[in-house]
Amino acid sequence: MLLITGATGKMGGIVIETMLKNGISSNQIVALVRDEDKATALKAKGIDVRIGDYDNRHSLDEAMKGIDKVLLVSGLDTSKLVEQHRNVTDAAKGAGVKCLAYTSNCLKDRETLVNNIMRTHFETEDLIIASGMNYLIFRNVLYMDSMAGYMLGKDVLEKGINLPAGDGSVSYALRSDEAEAIGNVLSTDNCASRIFNFTNTRTYSFEDVANALSELSGKTVTYTPLTMDIYIAEARTKGVPKHALEMIAPFYTDIANGQGSTVSTDLEEALGRKPVDLKSGLKLLLNL
């Protein structure tokens, strides 16, 4: 029995769909959700839905009964991620789970990270490894999907890309590709205590992003690397709250410092094909 946390989210949902396509029976999959009303589609597929919350250890203990393998999808509450992940890890160990998998983040050097939130991934990895359970750690590179969200902005084709990321490059991959790869790995019996670096086959700078957008849109899109002071000042004039900037600014500093520049063949091998490249991904994400 394999329990997927965050089963109604984008990552968990694709993982489950992939496993079903791979021939894993729905009665072998358990979905952990906080809101049962959002799990009707999972129930319709014959999947056992259990209610649990990362903050509620008792609910996790109950949900883990009879489970052999767990996929811990990283939580969203950045103020208590490690505590929440410890609850899941301890509940899994207490229930005799044989394999604990985790959606981590692919970062080059934990010792030089500026973004403290990203450090929680390494701290969670430490917890899992120290637990003594076999593990599968999926270090997912920054989602290309972020481009369609907060990174580029809705007016990117008119105003260009203006970010404090220097000439840093990232091996962006689509979240759907990373989730599919995780589903493929979990569909096997292998749990050999391995760390996967799920990245694209090359890195992309924001100059590359601008060039791809120019080709796709027929407009000239430029990338202007800003200093952090100018970026923060401009963001504040647009009404971005101070606490939000305190979270976002280190993120771009880490990109500039090459934290997202790891390149590995792990994702391609787990997919059985090349990951979607930048241009194709942007076309899909931005409807270009």
The mean pLDDT value for 90-99 works out to: 97
pLDDT at 125: 97
Q: Is pLDDT of 176 > 90?
A: yes
Q: In terms of Cα–Cα distance, which of 57, 106, 50 is closest to 84?
A: 57
Q: What is the mean pLDDT of residues 35-50?
A: 95
Residue 135: the pLDDT is: 98
Q: Is the pLDDT of residue 209 over 80?
A: yes
How sure is the predictor about 216, in pLDDT bands with cuts at 50, 70 and 90? very high
Core vs surface per residue 57-81: b (16+ CB within 10 A) or e: bebbbebbeebebbbbbbbeeeeeb
pLDDT in tens, 140-159: 999 999 988 778 988 999 99
Structure-derived torsion over alpha carbons of residues 152, 261, 18, 8, reported in degrees to the nearest 10 = -50
Residue 179 · residue 18 · CB < 8 Å? yes
pLDDT attached to residue 247:
85
The residues pairing with 195 across neighbouring beta strands, listed in sequence order, are: 137
Would you place residue 274 in the very low, low, confident or very high pLDDT band (cuts 50, 70, 90)?
Answer: very high
Residue 246: per-residue pLDDT = 86
Task: Summarize the confidence of residues 73-87 as an average pLDDT.
Answer: 92
* pLDDT-derived band at 281, boundaries 50, 70, 90: very high
* pLDDT tens figures, 223-272: 999 999 999 999 999 888 988 888 889 999 999 999 999 999 999 999 99
- pLDDT surpassing 90 at residue 101: yes
- Say what the pLDDT of residue 78 is: 80
Band the pLDDT of 203: cuts 50, 70, 90: very high
Provide the mean pLDDT of the chain. Answer: 95
C-alpha 168/C-alpha 259 separation (Å) is 8
Which residues lie below 8 Å from residue 233, measured CB to CB, with a gap of 6+? none
Lowest mean pLDDT among 58-62, 171-175, 208-212, 231-235: 231-235
Find the helix or strand (DSSP H, E) in which 49 lies. strand 48-51
CA distance 158 to 180: 34
Q: Which two tokens stand for residue 30?
A: 């358990």
- How many C-beta atoms surround the C-beta of residue 188 within 10 A? 11
pLDDT of residue 185: 98
State the average pLDDT over residues 55-62: 96
Which domains are assigned to the chain?
2-141+174-199+262-275 (3.40.50.720)
Rounded to an integer, what distance in angstroms lies between the CA atom of residue 89 and that of residue 61? 10
Report residue 106's pLDDT band, with 50, 70 and 90 as the boundaries: very high
Report how far residue 208's alpha carbon sits from residue 200's, in angstroms, rounded to the nearest whole number. Answer: 14
Torsion, Cα of 204, 177, 81, 152 (10° steps): 40
pLDDT tens per residue, range 117-145: 899 999 999 999 999 999 999 999 999 99
| Cα atoms in the 13 Å half-sphere on the side-chain side of 114 | 15
Please compute the mean of the pLDDT values over residues 202-226 and round it to a whole number.
98
Residue 66's φ and ψ, nearest 5 degrees, are: 80, 10
Asked whether residue 287 carries a pLDDT value surpassing 90, the answer given is yes
Alpha helices of 170-256 — where are they, by DSSP H?
175-186, 206-217, 228-237, 242-256
